[in-house]
Structure formats: structure tokens, C-alpha cells
Chains A and B, each alone.
Chain A
Amino acid sequence: MNMHVETSLPSLTPAPDRKAGWWRTAYAGWFGSDPLGLFGAVMLALLILMAVFGPAFVTHDPIRTTPQTLLLPSSEHWLGTDHFGRDVFSRMITSLRIDFIVAGLGVSGAILIGSLLGLVCGYVGGWFDDLVMRFVDIIQSFPLLLVAMVLVLALGPGVTSIVIVTVLINIPTYARVIRGQTLSKKRLEYIDAARCSGASEASILFRHLMPNTLSPIIVHGSLNLAAAVGNVAVLSFLGIGIRPPVPDLGVMVAEGTNYLVQGAWWMSICPGLVLAATIFSLNLVGDCLEGRLDPHRSER
């Protein structure tokens, strides 16, 4: 008997319309025709460009103090100066870069370690899986900010410990997600096929299983990055994160609160606005991607 190949399955994605421009295809393909996702992506791209190239164009030293304190925004100082006479705009751009780097490093580290842990747990199973997952359960049932505060206290404040803490508190998310993915994929036929053709366990794990478990990471990654940027700023605002004189958006808001009485609104309101915009854009992108990957939400 000939092997039957089902050809009449309805295509899940409509065939690309040749007449539509490439941008329309890309918009439908990447953002699922979700205008908010596109808006978030554009906003995020602008913020990243600002963080990457901004510091090179900044006209004032973000750390050097000058006698011109608490100046109003002007053509010379776009967002005024702070209580040490430092240019708020220059500091804000530099902070944005530092916060992106700290949160980015933290989330990447968590993705790396968490995914590996989840992959091994899901594949190996048994007592190792039980142990790691119960531990993850316990960590996840506590407010992350509290865990972060305690860890920072143990490690001592500073940029390095903020990165380490961001890694540690986000590992559970990825361990759990990738474990679930691994569990659902490891019984599939292509894994059996690989095993039959004599692939080693390591090769099955990393060459065949891993690439197929990674798609949810990008969703969690962007939502996670949003939370991480917020957490870094909160810890710094409370005085247990990044410490002055290193510029950070949370530190800037905290410093500005003491000068609200004198009407110096630009010191804390402007950095906070950039912080909110960063988190908002990451959340928009993450929400859009989540809608595309999660079938429960795709029929909106």
C-alpha cells in the first residue's frame, strides 16, 4: 500500500498576498497585525538606540559636579540640572544604558541557567527533578522583590550583586517553562528517531530537544526584562541597589524627591517617565508575542 500523505489540510496561515507590501507581510507575521505590539516595538527600538548611541552624543559629564545646581530646563541643559549641578538629561541617558545592561545581563544569565536546569529536569526526571521543582515552587511563592532585597543584603550592594540577584530570582521562571516544553516534546517521534539512529544522550538533549523548546523564552524574556528593569530601579530607589554616583533611573528619582519642595520637578519626573516608557514598551512587546504564541489568546 502506498503511503498516504494528507494534502488537503487547510492551511493555518493565509498565503502571503503578493500585492501587499513587504512591511505589511512583516507586520502580520511578526506582530500578528497587533498595532500595540508594533507601537511597543518602535518605542523599545528608540529607547535602545538612545541607550546605545546616546552617551556618545551627550554634551555633559554625567558624574562631574558643577556649581550650577537645580537649574531649570533650558537650551543648554535640556532637562535642567540636579542638586550637584549635573546635567539631568546626560545622566538619564547614561542611566538608561546602565539599567538596560544590568537587567539584560541578569535576564540572559537567568535564561541560560534556567533553561539548562529545566531541560535537564524535564529530560532526566526522577528525584533530581522533584528536588529542583519543589525548590522552585518555594522560591516562586514569595514576592520576588523580598527575595531580591534579602539576597542583595547578603551579597552587599553594588552593580555586580544586582546582576547576580536578577539572575537568581528569574531562574525559576525559565526552569519551569523549559521543563514543561521538554516534557511535552521528549516523547515525540523525532526524538525516538534520533535515538534509533544512535545519537548520544547529549546530542539528543542539546541538538534535537533544545532548539524545539526555546520559543516561549522570547515571550517570557521580554516580560521578564520589563520586570527586571523595574526591580533594579526599585532596589536602587530604596538605597540597596545601584549606588550613587553611578547614575541609575531609580537613584535619580530618589534623589529628586528631596528637591520637590523647591519645585525641582525635572529631577525625578523625567527619569521616571523614561523608566515607565521602557517598562511599558517591553510589556507591550511581550504581551503581543504572548498573544501570538498562546493559542488560548490568539482568537482575540
Chain B
Amino acid sequence: MPFPPLLRYVLRRLAISCLVLLGISLIAFSMAYLLPSDPVTSRYPDITNEQRAEIRRQMGLDQPLPVQYARYMASVFQGDFGKSLGTGNSVAEDIRQRLPATLELATYGIVFGLVFGIPLGIVSALRRGRMTDHLLRVFNLGAQSIPAFWLGVVLIFFLYFQWRIAPSPIGRLSPMFSTPPAVTGFLTVDGLIAGKFDVAWAALRQLMLPAFVLGLGVVSPVARITRSAMIESLQEDYVTFGQALGLGFRYVILGDAFRGALVPIVTTVGFIIGNVFAGAAIVETVFAWPGLGRYAVTAITTSDMAPVCTCILLIASTVAITNLLVDLSYALIDPRIRHEYAR
């Protein structure tokens, strides 16, 4: 009983998220068993059967699977994700080094996508059926159709190799500059904080192309959903009412209509965040960006299990938490939903 409905909804949603996270950890754990290669044999190729049994015992591989899973989860909660065979470091350390690079890239990419996608969608909705709308539709379909990896290659070829406008695609900062002291982990911000504007500018130049390629994948889904949500909310009575009152564009379109359209847009953005991480794997590979995506791809291609499991856990938890936040934000964004739960 005594929980108010909104709180009950939040608690139920939290419980579902916990279940999903549990399921994900099981999947990540069982990945190690789906693989054809045996971890002991691949690490120590020429040993006798007795030695193999001894190593398996030391590694705990002779225990029943539920025990192994419990041990794995216990070490995960202590921040121990195992060791990467590729880099020789602990996975936790590898990820600590690479996470800021991916976060910076993803942030700029998403911001770029939203800054262009939302206005494009609003304009399409307002000019529905006109030439502008058709042109934007072609642009959206085009942006959606260009493979990101190829676009990256084309941009590098023309802007770097041919015209020398862009800096060379060698990661976050050219070796000519020393990395500013880490505060936020974002080189563009850290550079400003340290007062080294040339470093911040150089980091921004390195970021431009990869963030553009990543962001272009965000523009078209955002523009699409903004268009359809705006078309719907423009037909609402409160928008007509606002227009009848003679309120201006800023109030009616950007205030009322856009606010009414926000729920589907936030849902889509939440969904996109997961895709941005997948897209980062591609963009980071093309632009030699030292981030998580490239780390995951390298681990996958070399069957390096500890990083693969950790990356699955990390990305999947990010997606699950994003979905949770998106669901919870509905009540915040839309007073009608809040009202429904308040009853």
C-alpha cells in the first residue's frame, strides 16, 4: 500500500533495471564459455595434462559454473575485471585511460546531432509538404544511408591528404603538444582550464571530423522524430489556443508545441545514446581515436576475453541506466504524465 503511485512506478522501474543488469552480467559471463578457445590452452600452449588441471584448479575453473559466476561478480564489485592479454594491464586501468576519449567524442557528437537535428525537424514540421520539407527528407535519408566508416575515410582523404585542411587523423592531440593536466578528462576543456588555448584549439581540431561523422548518424533519427512529434503537437488544442491569443513564435512553437513533442524526442535520444557507443567503435577505428570503442574492437578481433566481457557489461549497463533515466524523465517533462500518477 502506502507508496504513492509515482514512487511505486519508480521502484518498479528500478527493480526491472536491476533484473536487466543481472541478465546482462550473466550474458557477459557466459560469453567466455561460448568461445571455442580454452583460456588455459591458449595462454600456455605446451603443458602436460596434469599441469593444465593444476592451473585450472588455481584459476578456479574446476568449480561449478554458479560458483564461478559468483566469484566473477564478487571481483567485478571490487572493481577487478581481470587482465587484458593484449595490453598486459588490468582491464580497469585500460578503461580508465580510454573512457575520457570516448566520452569527449560522444558528447561532441551527440551535441552536434541535437543542435542540427532538432531545428531541422522543427522546420520540416512547420513547412510540411513544401519544398523545404522534401529537401530535408532527402538530406535525412542520405545522412542515414552513408556508411560512417566510409564517410570518415572520404573526409580524411580529401580534407587531410588532398587539401591539408584537417589535422592528421592520429588521435586526440598531435604529439607536438603536451597533454594538459587532467581535470575533466576532456582535452578541449582541460586545455582551457590550464590556460593553454593553443592546446584546446588543437584538441578541438582533432575532434571536429570524428565528432561530425558520429554526429551525422544522430542528426537524421532526431530530425525524423522531431518532425513527426511536432506535427502531432502542432495540432493540439493548446497550440491553437496560444496562436489565438496572439502569442508569438517563441511562445507557441518553441514553448508549447516543442515541449509537447519532447517525450518522443527524449525517448529517441535515449535510444540513440546506445547506438552512439556502437558508432564510436567505427569512428574510433577510422580516426585512430584512443577510446573504448577501438579497445573493444581490438579485443574482439583478438579474442581477448576479459576486456570483451567488461565492455559488454559497461555498454549494456550504460544503455540500461539511460533507459531508466529516460523513463523516469517523462514525469518531469510532461505534466500530463505527472498528473496521471498523482491521482
Contact = CB atoms under 8 A, between A and B. Distances in A.
A142 interface: yes
Interface of A: 36, 138, 141-146, 149-150, 153-154, 156, 226, 230, 233-234, 237-240, 250, 253-254, 256-257, 260-261, 263, 265, 268-269, 272, 275-276, 279-280, 283-284, 287, 296-297, 299-300
A272 B147 contact: yes
B161 A261 contact: yes
Contact of B277 (A144, A146, A276, A283): A146
Contacts of A253: 147, 149-150, 153
B152 to A, nearest CB: 9
Contact of A238 (B23, B141, B228, B297): B297
**Which of the listed residues A138, A144, A238, A296 has the most CB atoms from chain B within 10 Å of its own CB?**
A238
B278 interface: yes
B129 interface: yes
B278 A143 contact: yes
B149 A153 contact: no
B161 A153 contact: no
**Which of the listed residues B157, B271, B323 has the most CB atoms from chain A within 10 Å of its own CB?**
B157
A165 to B, nearest CB: 13
B274 A143 contact: yes
Interface stretch (B31-39, B86-94, B255-263): B31-39
Given A142-B319, A240-B301, A234 B149 contact: yes
A236 B341 CA distance: 48
Interface stretch (B41-49, B73-81, B101-109, B279-287): B279-287
A153 B297 CA distance: 10
B6 interface: no
Given A150-B312, A234-B282, A260-B153, A276 B147 contact: yes
Contacts of B315: 143, 146
Given A143-B319, A149-B300, A287-B137, A275 B150 contact: yes
Contacts of A239: 297, 301
Contact of B23 (A138, A263, A265): A138
A78 B23 CA distance: 52
A257 B274 contact: no
Contacts of B312: 146, 150
Nearest to B33: A154
A238 B301 contact: yes
B144 interface: yes
B155 to A, nearest CB: 11
Given A153-B31, A154-B31, A234-B149, 9 more contacts: A141-B323, A143-B278, A146-B312, A233-B149, A238-B282, A257-B286, A269-B154, A272-B147, A280-B145
Given A143-B319, A145-B275, A237-B149, A287 B286 contact: no
Interface in B120-153: 128-129, 133-134, 137-138, 141-142, 144-150, 153
Contacts of B134: 36
Which 4 A-B pairs rank lowest in CB-CB distance, beginning with the nearest?
A272-B150, A143-B278, A280-B145, A145-B278
Interface in B148-171: 148-150, 153-154, 156-157, 161
Contacts of B286: 257
Given A261-B161, A276-B146, A279-B145, A237 B228 contact: no
Contacts of B279: 145
B300 A300 contact: no
A238 B153 contact: no
A251 B117 CA distance: 31
Nearest to A280: B145
B318 to A, nearest CB: 10
Interface in B229-273: 271
Nearest to A140: B271
B145 A283 contact: yes
Contact of A230 (B36, B147, B296, B308): B147
A283 B144 contact: yes
B147 A233 contact: yes
B36 A156 contact: yes
B70 to A, nearest CB: 23
B250 to A, nearest CB: 27
A256 B312 CA distance: 30
A156 B296 CA distance: 16
Given A153-B35, A260-B156, A300-B133, A143 B277 contact: yes
A287 B147 CA distance: 18
Contact of B31 (A150, A263, A272): A150
A230 B156 CA distance: 20
Contacts of A275: 147, 150
Contacts of B300: 149, 153, 240
24 contacts: A36-B137, A142-B316, A143-B274, A143-B315, A144-B278, A149-B296, A149-B300, A153-B35, A233-B149, A234-B147, A234-B148, A234-B282, A240-B297, A253-B150, A265-B157, A269-B150, A269-B154, A272-B147, A275-B147, A275-B150, A280-B145, A283-B144, A283-B145, A300-B128
